[in-house]
């Protein structure tokens, strides 16, 4: 649940205000699609308080956060008006030297991708120690003690060992803890966290959020938390500011905004969060007996562990093999039957083998052992030529709509290509491409344009049209909405669901997000470390998870309590 | 929005200078028989005539027109350089594309072969090739192409390796596209920018190699070229400076222009350097 219920604007004293932003405006370059990235934004954060700034991509939330630290990509993006008062001092006017002092000691920032934010060639301990070296006059031993103590503070296991570790030797969650330690080490008044959990697994995300809350209570630090995820807001925020097109459209206490949103945009964002209410099995009278269209038996896939020509060298010079890992068992003896016409979600965290499984099923990856039959045809061990007739049975929608369309090919050609390869005439294939574009909610005219003219959601629709062009029986969707904004996510999910029903597709939906799984699939398969740990109807799994890991996953969904609280008000998705 | 490619490209003053000079060279090379005595080897007057006198740019030791040699030499030099570069780009591009696309053992073998060519000092290798093949326009082209394809192969290989794992290539595989189609329809169009830049800079190197070969008398016989003119004039450097200076300046300006245009292409095509 959300923490305290401080009231936003009736604080008479300004003593406990850490940050006060007064009608801050940030200009965008002349060629941008709007003139101001941030338009007259006014916000305050008090001591020990968490303010969540929520918005979709392009809302100006990150620019706003960077403006506070004056980390804007100048000279075109710059502050053009307003004040940023940090404990009464206007940061917007400070000179470069003053800014350095402020950045080090009084404000700290935690970035989204800890792997990029950390220097890969320095041990993490040294990177933090360096901050102390520059800003304090502690001795070397004292600095080290302080860093290790901070590592303990952020609950890093074995802090002495982590001190000497390089970023690549740590897990994603550990790296983010190191980043948080780095921001805490000088005990700043304000921490700005820009989507710090977006790149993390859901269980790790839950841990990091708990850690941030706990640290904040202990140190009384103010926290400005940028996110696009309303679940995260519900977990951590005291107060919420919703941003859209550079403006704050709603600003108030978390309980108020989350439960009784006033602005229609806030309401639409909250509605777009996939509900935790699981969908029930479709109770349509089943005509055909439930025969499996896809059968997986004893599938195995191992990465690495191959003898390479350099191994004899590694034996002579043991240092060489340091850091090289042994074989990774990506898929460990998986058995799975998918019934024709069903929608099955493969849920798991990164490294669980869900994507590898999908890639083996679609022939992008060769399984080491086992068998996969698609409507009776064995596919393991087929070469590319033998695969070709099967392409019209099984197709894939990819994760990143910005990478999955060839930027140099017109949309119409992208979609028509599959049908042409299956032997369709060029003009018939193009006519079908036009129909498909309309089917996925775009105009037929879009066929003449290039992918870069479309937004992420539109591109994903094009990706779906491409997969459907060969009239497949099975559609594998690999995290098809994880790269999209919340409001667009829902539209794409609904489109997939609708198309699936209309064409009687069998859908295998790969996701790390249980909510998304619950929204579109009647069945869930939970994967961990390449094994299936649980499988069952979505409703059953949500009501009564059998495996510990499933329980952890369910408990980690951010904003769970809030959604249950909201449950009565949101329409139940299941039919 | 950022400015369109052509505006960014031609708006760069260095590019504009390079383009104007190159246009002059290309036009005079094309129109050589019309704007100068049609046979550059024909004797048109007394030897060692000063430039800007009776014969526009003077005459050489045998009384041949320097102007005619210059424009006809531009023909030879440009033609050989461009054809050799095209050969190198096609061959190197193919090797690099196959190497990067298939990886594994194919990549190992092709790259070791490429390195073998890279380790031989290129100019000496070119001399050797021309000597073996006997001097002719074709053997000069072959020699220049042979020594200049390895860097192209390396660049294309790197690009292809990066693009091969992109999702749109995987999507093409799942649609059942054949390997050559994936390579030529999906991957190569996206790898063109660095290829164009390197290719254009390679023309400059090819011109230098060609002139150097001609200077040593290993160029195409019976074809006037800039290198040949410098080579033939070098014994009279103290008496008739223009015999060396005029073709020398032409070489300098042309190579400089190509480099400027190549750099400009790189700036205009490389999105990371794109200043709006």
- Which residue does chain B place closest to A360, by CA atoms? B174
Task: Give, as one character, the DSSP assignment of residue A232.
Answer: H
Cβ atoms within 10 Å, residue A247: 15
The share of chain A scoring above pLDDT 90, in percent, equals: 27
What are the angstrom distances between the C-alpha of A324 and each of A173, A177, A357?
Answer: 21, 24, 24
The strand pair at A506-511 and A343-347 is best described as parallel
Mean pLDDT estimate for chain B: 86
- Provide the CA A392 distance to its chain's centre, in angstroms: 31
What are the angstrom distances between the C-alpha of B133 and each of A191, B130, B136, B214?
Answer: 72, 5, 8, 15
CB atoms A364 and B168 under 8 Å = no
What pLDDT sits at residue A8? 43
Predicted confidence band of residue A353 (pLDDT cuts 50, 70, 90): confident
Tell me the per-residue pLDDT of A489-512, one tens digit each, with 9 for 90 and over: 888 999 999 999 888 899 999 998
Picking from B29, B122, B13, the residue whose alpha carbon sits closest to that of residue B82 is B29
Residues of B with CB under 8 A from a CB of A: 1-2, 166-168, 170-179, 185-186, 189-190, 276
For residue B18, the surrounding DSSP H or E stretch is helix B13-30
Task: Give, as one character, the DSSP assignment of residue A349.
Answer: -
Q: Report whether pLDDT(A49) > 60.
A: yes
What pLDDT sits at residue A326? 59
What pLDDT sits at residue B151? 92
Phi-psi label, residue B246: left if phi above 0, alpha if psi -120 to 50, beta otherwise: alpha
Segment A176-194 shows an average pLDDT of: 88
What pLDDT sits at residue A219? 86
The residues with which A19 forms a beta bridge, in sequence order, are: A45, A86
Q: Report whether pLDDT(A205) > 60.
A: yes
Predicted confidence band of residue A250 (pLDDT cuts 50, 70, 90): very high
CB atoms A31 and B190 under 8 Å = no
CB atoms A409 and B185 under 8 Å = yes
Instruction: Identify from B2, B112, B175, B178 which residue to disrupt to test chain A contact, counting A C-beta atoms within 10 A and taking the largest count.
Output: B175
CB atoms A406 and B175 under 8 Å = no
Q: Tokens 């087929």 belong to which residue?
A: A382
Predicted confidence band of residue A474 (pLDDT cuts 50, 70, 90): very high
For helices A264-272 and A486-503, angle between their N-to-C axes, nearest 10 degrees = 50
- Cβ–Cβ under 8 Å, residues B87 and B140: no
CB atoms A463 and B179 under 8 Å = no
What pLDDT sits at residue A11? 45
CB atoms B167 and A398 under 8 Å = yes
The share of chain A scoring above pLDDT 70, in percent, equals: 90
What pLDDT sits at residue A1? 38
Cβ atoms within 10 Å, residue A25: 18
End-to-end Cα spacing for chain A: 29
C-alpha–C-alpha distance, residues A56 and A457, integer Å: 13
Tell me the per-residue pLDDT of A264-310, one tens digit each, with 9 for 90 and over: 999 888 888 877 777 665 545 454 556 788 999 989 888 875 545 55
For the residues of A43-109, what is the DSSP string, one character each? EEEETT-EEEEE--TTSSHHHHHHHHHT---TTTSEEEEEEEEETTEEGGG--HHHHHHIIIIIEEE
C-alpha–C-alpha distance, residues A427 and A418, integer Å: 13
Torsion angle, alpha carbons of B136, B142, B148, B153, to 10: 170
At A187 the three-state DSSP class reads coil
Question: How far does B92 lie from chain A, in Å, by closest CA?
Answer: 23
Q: Find the CB nearest A403 among B167, B172, B189.
A: B167
More confident residue, A322 or A467: A467
Burial class of A474 by CB neighbour count within 10 A (0 to 12, 13 to 18, 19+) = buried
CB atoms B174 and A405 under 8 Å = no
Residues lower than pLDDT 50 in chain B: 1, 273-276
Phi-psi label, residue A396: left if phi above 0, alpha if psi -120 to 50, beta otherwise: beta
What pLDDT sits at residue B168? 92
What pLDDT sits at residue A3? 39
More confident residue, A327 or B180: B180
Cβ atoms within 10 Å, residue B44: 17
For the residues of B85-138, what is the DSSP string, one character each? HHHHHHHHHHHHHHHHHH-HHHHHHHHHHHHHHHHS-HHHHHHHHHHHH-SSHH
Predicted confidence band of residue A574 (pLDDT cuts 50, 70, 90): very low
Q: Is A404 on the interface with B (CB under 8 A)?
A: yes
Instruction: Identify from B169, B171, B195 which residue to disrupt to test chain A contact, counting A C-beta atoms within 10 A and taking the largest count.
Output: B171
- Cβ–Cβ under 8 Å, residues A253 and A11: no
Q: Report whether pLDDT(A5) > 60.
A: no
Picking from A331, A422, A418, A419, the residue whose alpha carbon sits closest to that of residue A372 is A331
At A146 the three-state DSSP class reads helix
- Which residue does chain A place closest to B170, by CA atoms? A364
CB atoms B176 and A404 under 8 Å = no
Mean pLDDT estimate for chain A: 84
ipTM over 0.85 threshold: no
What pLDDT sits at residue A105? 79
Tokens coding B198: 């390197």
Predicted confidence band of residue A72 (pLDDT cuts 50, 70, 90): confident
C-alpha–C-alpha distance, residues A528 and A434, integer Å: 41
C-alpha–C-alpha distance, residues A222 and B58, integer Å: 83
What pLDDT sits at residue B142? 94
What are the angstrom distances between the C-alpha of B230 and each of B35, B38, B225, B242, B255?
Answer: 22, 20, 9, 10, 16
CB atoms A470 and B175 under 8 Å = yes
CB atoms A399 and B189 under 8 Å = no
What are the angstrom distances between the C-alpha of A89 and each of A9, A83, A105, A207?
Answer: 20, 9, 14, 34
C-alpha–C-alpha distance, residues A93 and A84, integer Å: 9
Q: Residues near A497 by Cβ (< 8 Å), separated by ≥ 6?
A: A343, A519, A520
- Cβ–Cβ under 8 Å, residues A112 and A195: yes
Q: Is A460 on the interface with B (CB under 8 A)?
A: no
Tell me the per-residue pLDDT of A422-444, one tens digit each, with 9 for 90 and over: 888 999 999 999 999 999 999 98
Predicted confidence band of residue A253 (pLDDT cuts 50, 70, 90): very high
- E strand spans, A164-259: 190-194, 222-227, 239-244, 247-253
Q: Is A133 on the interface with B (CB under 8 A)?
A: no
CA angle A159, A163, A165 (to 5 degrees): 115
The strand pair at A474-478 and A394-397 is best described as parallel
Tokens coding A133: 């070296």
């Amino acid at each position: 649940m959300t923490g305290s219920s401080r009231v936003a604007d009736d604080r008479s004293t300004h003593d406990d205000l850490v940050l006060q932003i007064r009608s801050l405006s940030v200009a965008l370059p002349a060629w941008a699609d709007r003139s101001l990235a941030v338009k007259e934004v006014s916000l305050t954060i008090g001591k020990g308080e968490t303010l969540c700034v929520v918005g979709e991509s392009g809302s100006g939330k990150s620019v706003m956060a960077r403006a506070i630290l004056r980390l804007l990509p100048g000279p075109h993006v710059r502050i053009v008006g307003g004040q940023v008062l940090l404990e009464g001092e206007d940061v917007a006017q400070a000179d470069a030297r003053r800014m350095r002092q402020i950045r080090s000691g009084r404000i700290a920032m935690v970035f989204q991708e800890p792997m990029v934010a950390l220097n890969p060639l320095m041990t993490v301990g040294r990177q933090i120690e360096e901050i102390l070296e520059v800003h304090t006059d502690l001795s070397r031993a004292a600095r080290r003690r302080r860093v290790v103590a901070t590592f303990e503070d952020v609950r890093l296991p074995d802090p002495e060992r982590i001190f000497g570790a390089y970023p690549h030797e740590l897990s994603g969650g550990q790296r983010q803890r190191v980043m948080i330690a780095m921001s805490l080490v000088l005990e700043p008044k304000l921490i700005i966290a820009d989507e710090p959990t977006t790149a993390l697994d859901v269980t790790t995300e839950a841990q990091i959020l708990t850690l941030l809350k706990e640290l904040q209570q202990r140190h009384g630090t103010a926290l400005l938390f940028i996110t696009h995820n309303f679940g995260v807001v519900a977990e951590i925020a005291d107060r919420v500011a919703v941003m859209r097109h550079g403006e704050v459209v709603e600003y108030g206490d978390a309980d108020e905004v989350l439960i009784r949103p006033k602005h229609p945009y806030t309401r639409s964002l909250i509605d777009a969060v996939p509900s935790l209410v699981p969908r029930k099995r479709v109770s349509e009278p089943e005509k055909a007996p439930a025969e499996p269209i896809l059968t997986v038996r004893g599938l195995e896939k191992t990465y690495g562990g191959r003898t390479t020509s350099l191994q004899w060298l590694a034996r002579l010079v043991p240092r060489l093999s340091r850091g090289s890992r042994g074989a990774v068992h990506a898929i460990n003896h998986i058995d799975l039957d998918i019934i024709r016409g069903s929608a099955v979600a493969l849920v798991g965290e990164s490294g669980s083998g869900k994507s590898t499984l999908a890639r083996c099923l679609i022939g992008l990856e060769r399984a080491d052992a086992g068998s996969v039959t698609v409507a009776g045809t064995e596919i393991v061990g087929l070469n590319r030529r033998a695969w070709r007739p099967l392409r019209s049975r099984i197709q894939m929608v990819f994760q990143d709509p910005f990478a999955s369309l060839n930027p140099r090919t017109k949309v119409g050609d992208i979609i028509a290509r599959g049908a042409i390869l299956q032997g369709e005439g060029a003009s018939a294939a193009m006519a079908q491409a036009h129909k498909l574009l309309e089917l996925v909610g775009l105009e037929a005219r879009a066929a003449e344009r290039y992918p870069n003219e479309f937004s992420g959601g539109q591109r994903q629709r094009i990706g779906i049209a491409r997969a459907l062009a060969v009239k497949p029986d099975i559609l594998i969707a690999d995290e098809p909405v994880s790269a999209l904004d919340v409001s667009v996510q829902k539209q794409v999910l609904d489109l997939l669901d609708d198309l699936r029903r209309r064409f009687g597709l069998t859908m295998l939906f790969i996701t790390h997000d249980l909510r998304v799984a619950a929204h579109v699939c009647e069945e869930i398969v939970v994967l961990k470390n390449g094994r299936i740990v649980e499988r069952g109807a979505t409703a059953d799994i949500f009501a009564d998870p059998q495996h510990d890991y499933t329980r952890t996953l369910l408990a980690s969904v951010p904003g769970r309590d809030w959604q249950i609280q909201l449950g009565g008000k949101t329409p139940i998705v299941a039919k | 929005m950022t400015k369109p490619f052509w505006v960014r490209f031609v708006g760069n003053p260095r590019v504009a200078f390079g383009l104007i000079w190159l246009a002059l060279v290309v036009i005079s090379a094309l129109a050589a028989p019309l704007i100068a005595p049609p046979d550059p080897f024909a004797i048109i007057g007394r030897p060692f005539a000063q430039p800007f006198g009776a014969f526009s740019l003077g005459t050489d030791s045998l009384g041949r027109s320097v102007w005619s040699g210059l424009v006809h030499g531009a023909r030879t030099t440009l033609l050989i350089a461009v054809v050799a570069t095209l050969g190198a780009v096609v061959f190197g591009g193919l090797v690099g594309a196959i190497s990067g696309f298939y990886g594994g053992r194919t990549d190992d073998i092709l790259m070791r072969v490429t390195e073998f060519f890279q380790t031989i000092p290129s100019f000496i290798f070119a001399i050797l090739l021309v000597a073996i093949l006997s001097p002719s326009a074709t053997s000069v082209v072959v020699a220049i192409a042979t020594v200049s394809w390895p860097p192209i192969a390396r660049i294309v290989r790197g690009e292809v390796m990066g693009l091969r794992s992109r999702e749109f290539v995987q999507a093409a595989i799942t649609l059942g596209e054949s390997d050559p189609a994936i390579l030529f329809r999906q991957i190569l169009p996206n790898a063109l920018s660095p290829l164009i830049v390197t290719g254009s800079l390679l023309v400059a190197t090819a011109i230098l190699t060609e002139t150097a070969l001609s200077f040593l008398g290993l160029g195409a016989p019976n074809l006037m070229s800039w290198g040949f003119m410098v080579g033939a004039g070098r014994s009279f450097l103290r008496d008739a400076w223009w015999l060396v200076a005029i073709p020398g300046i032409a070489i300098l300006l042309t190579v400089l222009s190509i480099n400027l245009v190549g750099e400009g292409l790189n700036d205009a095509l490389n999105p990371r350097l794109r200043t709006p």
